[in-house]
Chain A
Amino acid sequence: MLSGNKNTMGGNHPTKKTPLILAFVPIVVLAGMIIFLLSPYGQSLINTGIPLPQVTIEKVEFHENQILAFIRNTGPLEIVVSQADVNDRIQSAAIEPDSTIPRLGDAKVMIPFPWIPGTPYEIGITTSDGTRFSKSVEAAALAPSPDANQALLFTSLGVYVGVIPVMIGLMWYPYIRRISIGKYSFFLSLTAGLLVFLGIDALLEVNEIVNQNLAAVFNGQALSVVVTISSFIVLLYTSERLTQRAIEKAVLNKNHSLASTSSIEELGKSEKSSTERQEGEIYNKSAKVSSSTQEVQIQLQRYQQLLKPLTISMMIAIGIGLHNFGEGLAIGAAMLLGEVALSTFLIVGFTLHNTTEGLAIVAPIAKSERSRRMMIRRLVTMGLIAGVPTIAGTWIGGFLYSPMAAVIFLSVGAGAIFQVVYSLISWISHHQKSGPSSSLSGHVIAGFITGLLIMYLTGLLV
């Protein structure tokens, strides 16, 4: 009887081991269910209809006297590739590693072909059941080979479209520092507008890549949403942690210097013989402590005023850096896939477009009290954080393009940008509250719309 009681007690009151075992029960049942469904019994129950093969041509590259098509089996069945064609004309070809491709497996189709630069081509492959899958290329262009020359070209391209424009944009710092609060809100919200546009632009770009290059089976749009939201939340959390930690550290340092002079030392002394002291003295002590907390609170607010804009700027720089990485990927990939002719016009367009990114970094910190020398150093660092990833992006995009990676990076960038927009908006409303007007002033609205328009119009040039 007693032992039985104990057992029921154990069942009702969780011990350390039982809940974990209970958690596995549904998993075991689920596994059984899956095994049943995969067994001949299950198969005969659910296998209705005819599964069709599906092949995605993810990428087509043009090399000297040869066309390479990178294909993936995105259907429900193993497939065998039986032939390849160019413009629907059968060609001698080879497939590596093998003509049999398992589900979700990939292969490289090599077609010796005297292609002509600048000409559109349609590359097709036919599976063993006679189904043809194809992909069109707007204009054939020699795929960049990963050599020093090409790397140099990509680097200079990255510098032109990524680093230099951001640096130019930073030169608005002295101007924005001197303007009135109203105009300042205008520029802050303009920055928010710019960034919202960049974020949406990135998601549209993702959508395009998903539709054109990524196999439907990977559900690119959903992946993009997952990555964007995750990136937003993770960055929001990190940026707040960073601000908090910086403030705590700063306050601690200040407190330490205070303590060395008077109050804390006294507190230490009082503690030594605390048991023998009278209650009155304890009261005294607590009063001292409360006064110091008040001081700390004031300090904290002052530091928040100082550090918050700096963090926002840094987060903007990082967000734009991620975005520019994605942009670099797109530029490199476009060159690899022969979708873009590299023209001066294009570079001018990107330069104009990206200069505004520099402005975005500058705006939040322009009003904070810092020595100019220190500020210039910080600005340059942030400019590099925002701009240099473009170079890395062009390398990766141009040499090892993968639509999946592009989708992920662009989505991380979008999440980062939306996080920055969130911080900016809360910063603007905070800023506005200290002033006379409400948080939605005419300056803010005008700034936001101007920001969107600037991005749209300069984007037309790209």
Chain B
Amino acid sequence: MILIGSSIIVVGVVSGVYKNFTLNSSSDNNRAISRANSSDSTIGGHVPGYPIGETSGTIIDPIDQVIDKDSVVDPEKYLREFNYGRVSMLPNGSTLREFTLVASDQLVKEVSPGVSYNVWTFNGTVPGPTIRATEGDVVRINFVNNGSMPHSLHTHGIHPAEMDGVFEMISPGGRFTYEFVAEPFGVFPYHCHMTPLEEHLAHGLYGVYIVDPKTPRSPADEMVMVMNGYDTDFDTENNFYTVNGIPYYYMHHPIQIEKDKPVRIYLVNMLEFDPLNNFHLHANMFNYYPSGTSLQPDELTDIVSLNQAERGIMEFKYKYPGKYMFHAHKTEFAEKGWMGTFFVNDKNTTRNSIQADNSSFYDTLNNSFDTNTPETSGARM
């Protein structure tokens, strides 16, 4: 009896200590997250046919949560934002488009609800701003390195060797003006070319550069989509996959489009680590123009697979109203954030109510942008 008693006491004391460790302060965390849809105590519910749970604790749900502040980018704004630069006329009659790109490697931003990551950015966002010019324009990019290590700007397209941003790195605090004629027409990525390249790209130093043909393409609802990922734990595998910077964003904020109205997407794959990425459109087919360098579509399809830095233009319109999904058909990527939805509105019916919910979100985002002066000065190009 004494033996059993004493062993119970020993165990009791030790497990008592163990329990004390577990005493939990239910301190309020300052996570800048709010929920897009469901009520505060239900887990899930936005995936059809999926089990729903109930909780008294905190919901952690990147599929359904919105970042209120410190978002690495506002995907809604980024989607249709094309920067044409400060336009002036050169003596020879050609158009000069001047841009400012500020590289930084110090920002810590939320890349998924509740997950902060040290992003390296052009003008404070991942992806960087979309630069757009017309074939034959002179593009002048004032590059400022606001970071702590050398960076550069390397644009795809045709230009002289010294404008390629590969052999001349810009030191921290340094400046350089890249100048070249926009050619040929198409869609291109731009990115930093500092070694280790993988590191500089994986952290977010990239964006899209569009060159329009001299005769403009037919009018359409144009948007840009960059497929990327974040390796937040540095194991050379992506923890998140996104289109336009935030996982699942267009799941809770469907992209509003009009029925029968042409949609044109400039699609660029900037994913690191995984060799292949793809884009699959639901309930529709699209014309695909690889690299956007031809005016004749290559194929009519509902899926396109892209290697690193590969890109193209997609054109389609929806025949029926309603909500349609688009996502990577590499399902792993889809289920780690690379999925979204189009909401096809019929002109005769009212718009989806979801859009109205987001006004406060935009306000806070815009405010946070204004505080980052070096980046925003470049953002107004």
Interface residues of A (CB under 8 A from B): 65-66, 72, 80-84, 88-102, 104-114, 126, 128-132, 218, 223, 227, 230-231, 234-235, 238, 242, 318, 322, 402, 404-405, 408-409, 412, 416
Contact = CB atoms under 8 A, between A and B. Distances in A.
Contacts of A110: 43, 53, 55, 57
Contacts of A88: 332, 336
B336 to A, nearest CB: 6
B32 to A, nearest CB: 11
B116 A130 contact: yes
B112 A82 contact: yes
Given A66-B53, A80-B31, A95-B57, A90 B62 contact: yes
A52 B248 CA distance: 28
B60 A130 contact: no
14 contacts: A65-B53, A92-B50, A94-B53, A98-B24, A98-B26, A99-B31, A100-B27, A102-B27, A105-B23, A107-B24, A112-B44, A126-B239, A231-B10, A405-B11
B57 A90 contact: no
A416 B11 CA distance: 14
Given A96-B56, A105-B23, A114-B51, A128 B10 contact: no
Contacts of A97: 24, 26, 56-57
Contact of B114 (A65, A80, A238): A80
B81 to A, nearest CB: 27
Interface stretch (B14-22, B168-176, B260-268, B273-281): B14-22
Interface of B: 2-4, 6-7, 10-11, 14-15, 18, 21-29, 31, 43-47, 50-53, 55-64, 111-117, 230, 232-233, 239, 247-248, 332, 335-337
A238 B24 contact: no
Contacts of A234: 3, 6-7
Q: Which 8 A-B pairs have the closest CB atoms?
A: A130-B232, A82-B114, A96-B57, A65-B51, A94-B55, A92-B44, A89-B335, A112-B51
A97 B44 CA distance: 18
A81 to B, nearest CB: 6
A234 B53 CA distance: 49
Contacts of A98: 24, 26-27, 29, 57-58
B43 to A, nearest CB: 5
A417 to B, nearest CB: 13
Given A105-B24, A129-B232, A231-B7, A238 B44 contact: no
Contacts of B24: 97-98, 101-102, 105-107
Contacts of B44: 91-92, 112
A101 B248 CA distance: 26
**Most chain B beta-carbon neighbours within 10 Å: one of A94, A227, A408, A412:** A94
Contacts of A106: 22, 24
A203 B51 CA distance: 41
Nearest to B335: A89
Contact of A93 (B3, B56, B61, B336): B61
A112 to B, nearest CB: 4
**Most chain B beta-carbon neighbours within 10 Å: one of A84, A90, A111, A230:** A90
**Most chain B beta-carbon neighbours within 10 Å: one of A92, A94, A235:** A92
B18 A404 contact: yes
B338 to A, nearest CB: 11
B341 to A, nearest CB: 17
A80 B47 CA distance: 25
